[in-house]
Amino acid sequence: MQELLRKIKEDDESAFNELYFRYFNPLIHFSYSFVNNRDIAEEIVNDVFLRLWLKRKTLPDIANEKVFLYTAARNASLNHLRTFSTKRFKNMESFLTSDHHILVEFSPEQYYISAETKSRIVKAVNSLPPKCQIIYKMVKEDGLSIAEAAEILLLSYKTVFTQLQIALKKIAVVIE
């Protein structure tokens, strides 16, 4: 079990706060990709952390806190969608057009991106199929590995890898 989770299991509030502040915003963005509503995403993530704290004494051994939290956020987001009879992924347009960092890695000399290029990238990412968008966001923005994204989304490594390659190729064509 990772150190922070071990400390949380022992009622260490400072460890809980550290875990909360480390993952709160990334999990909101991840949950938002399912529910398309920031307030609901925040509520879902807060509920995930509340359940974690309330059940801290009975936590199983968790090998990877990031995968555990992303999986919990995914499940809570999907449960929310089922509750409100929405079975598809929502449009990510408002998230992708916000002022978050651009979703492509650039070399130092390419660091500065013009507004026009940013707009083309956003349009390219927005045109991807929903599952491809989520995979791209998880790996390129949230910094998850392909294996972690596959585990969270209950997909094979090869499927996630292939979807990511499709996304990168489509974006590369747009920015060339």
Report how many domains make up the chain: 2
Q: Domain range holding 41?
A: 3-83
Q: Which domain-ending residue is among 28, 55, 83?
A: 83
Tell me how far apart the alpha carbons of residues 18 and 85 are, in angstroms, rounded to a whole number. 35
How far is the C-alpha of 167 from the C-alpha of 129, rounded, in Å? 9
71 in any annotated domain: yes
Secondary structure of 61-113 as H, E, C letters? CCCCHHHHHHHHHHHHHHHHHHHCCCCCCCCCHHHHCCCCCCCCCCCHHHCCC
Beta strands in 44-172 (DSSP E): none
CATH code, 143: 1.10.10.10
Same domain, yes or no, for 12 and 43? yes
Query: What pLDDT shows up at residue 119?
Result: 75
* Residue 10, SS3 per DSSP: coil
Q: Last residue of some domain: 55, 83, 111?
A: 83
Look at residue 86 in the predicted model and tell me its pLDDT: 33
Q: Containing H/E element for 29?
A: helix 13-35
The residue behind tokens 């978050």 is 100
Does residue 100 share a domain with residue 47? no
Q: Are residues 97 and 68 in the same domain?
A: no
Question: What is the per-residue pLDDT across 12-31, written as a single tens digit (0 to 9) for each?
Answer: 999 999 999 999 999 999 99
Owner of token pair 């309330």: 54
Structure token pair of residue 29: 């963005």
Domain membership of residue 101 (yes or no) is yes
Low-confidence ranges of the chain (pLDDT < 70): 1, 84-116, 175-176
CATH number of residue 63's parent domain: 1.10.1740.10
Question: What is the Cβ-side half-sphere exposure of residue 47, based on CA atoms within 13 angstroms?
Answer: 15
Which element (helix H / strand E) includes 176?
none
C-alpha 49 chain-centroid distance: 16
